[in-house]
Amino acid sequence: MTRQKMDSWLHIMLMCGPLIVSLQVTDGSRLPRSRYDKNQLLNTNIHQLQLHYSTNGAEWVGRSVFTPFLDQLSSRGSCTCQSMMLEGMLNIYEEVFTDMLNKSEKKELKNSVKDIMTEVKKLRHKYREEHKLWRDLQDIHLTKVKNGTIQGAALNEFLMVFNRAYTEKH
């Protein structure tokens, strides 16, 4: 690089450096933070909430909301969105055919429905991981989010869940 180009870069840095620093320390618009800075901010904010809600005591040890589900993630096969949808559809078909069977009066119709149901059940058996995941999702959905004990336990395990979710998508 020539001396003149280096001087112009130095000049730009000297002019823009203070502006960049001032943008980082104001509460206004911020430049993107590094992953480490984001983690530090999350850790600080969660710690403040834990102090405010007094969730650091011994009575909170062992209380969890989502940790049991996190532990199961590693042991699961690779359930895809498509297989989850197919399992859900097969579940509905099983319910539809069960209702048809219960309403049928003709023997040949009952036999046809029974044969179909046998095949659906065999196929659904291959989707047992997806079925288990579906039940777990329903359990998560039923979490009583307005319950203080649930909130405290969820707060204490938030960083673990957040980091796992972040890692999965980055």
Is pTM, for the whole model, over 0.75? Answer: no
* Distance, CA of 67 to CA of 167 (rounded, Å): 16
If you average pLDDT over residues 81-108, what whole number do you get? 89
Could you tell me which of 65, 57, 124 has the C-alpha nearest to residue 97? 124
Half-sphere exposure of residue 123: CA atoms within 13 angstroms, side-chain side: 15
Residue 28 has pLDDT above 90, yes or no: no
pLDDT in tens, 127-166: 888 888 888 889 899 999 899 988 988 888 888 888 888 8
What are phi and psi for residue 114, nearest 5 degrees? -60, -45
* Distance, CA of 154 to CA of 69 (rounded, Å): 12
Q: Which residue has the tokens 């095949």?
A: 119
Residue type, 6: M
Half-sphere exposure of residue 44: CA atoms within 13 angstroms, side-chain side: 6
* Distance, CA of 92 to CA of 89 (rounded, Å): 5
pLDDT in tens, 56-65: 888 877 777 7
pLDDT band for position 99 (cuts 50, 70, 90): very high
Hey, CA dihedral for 150, 151, 156, 162, is it positive or negative? Answer: positive
